[in-house]
Amino acid sequence: MTLTKVEKPEDSSNRYGETRVIQDNGVDKYAYNDSIIDIIILGTSEQFNFVLKNISNHSLKIIWNEAAYVGLDGSSSKIMHVGTKFSEREGDQPPTTIIKGAKIEDLATPTVNVYYDKGIKIGYETIGNGWKKRSMLPKQYEGKEPGEIRLMLPIQIKDVINEYTFVFKVYYSYDHPELLHADKL
């Protein structure tokens, strides 16, 4: 996944911030900053991992109950984050407060992708049971680029909620890219 843009409300004091790519042990992570936040975010197949720093002069809150994920098919889902039990993923999630100059490491997982697998019963044992997460990405190659996925994090500063929407372009990657042009060898 590649972060293509970050959207936020037009009436915010600093409408557009800077987006850049950061290499960390060979993994592309994406950074965005403006006058309120400085975030490094990475999209994996199951979740978004991020470090969010408050660079404003006030405390801010992430309003988890209003955060949302939009999948490749355009459907929206609530998200869950660190500290939320899988069994309580659809319940109330209190806001996280980040004081001036502080940061948090967290993640966002679409609740629609979290499920309980009953596993397979073999004799007296059950194998493969437990809580699991489905991928946010397509399972197989379909002949075109899959599209975009979005993560919206509502961040409240004073009494104003700024909706930051992180838009990721999804690409196919191949274990053996040399085989894509095997017919030309």
pLDDT, one tens digit per residue, over 51-67 is 999 999 999 999 999 99
Residue 171's pLDDT is: 79
Across 172-176, average pLDDT: 65
Domain boundaries, the chain: 2-173
Bridge partners, 182 (sequence order): none
What are the helix and strand counts (H, E) for the chain? Answer: 0, 16
Tell me which DSSP letter residue 58 carries. S
Least confident span in 83-92, 106-115, 175-184: 175-184
Note the pLDDT of residue 181: 54
Nearest Cα neighbor of 113 from 144, 90, 82, 140 is 90
Query: Sign (positive/negative) of CA torsion 166, 170, 174, 180?
Result: negative
Q: Tokens for 31? A: 């950074």
Instruction: Tell me the C-alpha distance between 40 and 51, whole Å.
Output: 5
14-49 tens-digit pLDDT: 445 667 777 777 777 888 988 899 999 998 999 999
Q: Are the C-beta atoms of 100 and 58 separated by less than 8 Å?
A: yes
Q: For the chain, what is the mean pLDDT?
A: 85
Distance separating alpha carbons of residues 41 and 106, to the nearest angstrom: 10
Put simply, whether the predicted model's pTM sits higher than 0.95 gets the answer: no
